[in-house]
Amino acid sequence: DAGITQSPRHKVTETGTPVTLRCHQTENHRYMYWYRQDPGHGLRLIHYSYGVKDTDKGEVSDGYSVSRSKTEDFLLTLESATSSQTSVYFCAISQEGLNYEQYFGPGTRLTVT
């Protein structure tokens, strides 16, 4: 199994508070991604990174920011959590090249009350 972990695995927080989710990989893969999964929507890309300090927005990036200061870590921050950000968040990694699949972390279930 690919070495990819997420922390925390579960979090309950209140509206308006900041939240940071961490993704850590031991595979030295170039690409890292943050998705959210909601019923009926599949996986939607929030942000992704193609190298240290190189990031780009996905289709649902509003309200989220990311940082990647080391190859192995990719942080997702909700500056001021809202109830609409209640979701399951997945981190994924991939090597460069069309034939390389993504490996996913176990997910983080975030509830904003």
Note the residues at the interface with another protein (CB under 8 A): 31, 33, 35, 40-45, 48, 50, 56, 58, 88, 90, 92, 94, 96, 98-99, 101-104, 106-107
Backbone angles phi, psi at 84, to 5 degrees: -70, -10
CB of 107 to another protein, least distance (A): 5
The smaller minimum CB distance to another protein, of residues 29 and 112, is found at 29
CB of 74 to another protein, least distance (A): 14
Q: Counting beta carbons within 10 angstroms of the beta carbon of residue 65, is it exposed (0 to 12), middle (13 to 18) or buried (19 or more)?
A: middle
Are 80 and 66 spatial neighbours (Cβ–Cβ below 8 Å)?
A: no
- Which DSSP category does 96 fall into? S
CB of 64 to another protein, least distance (A): 16
The smaller minimum CB distance to another protein, of residues 63 and 107, is found at 107
The whole-angstrom separation of Cα 37 and Cα 100 is 22
The smaller minimum CB distance to another protein, of residues 14 and 54, is found at 54
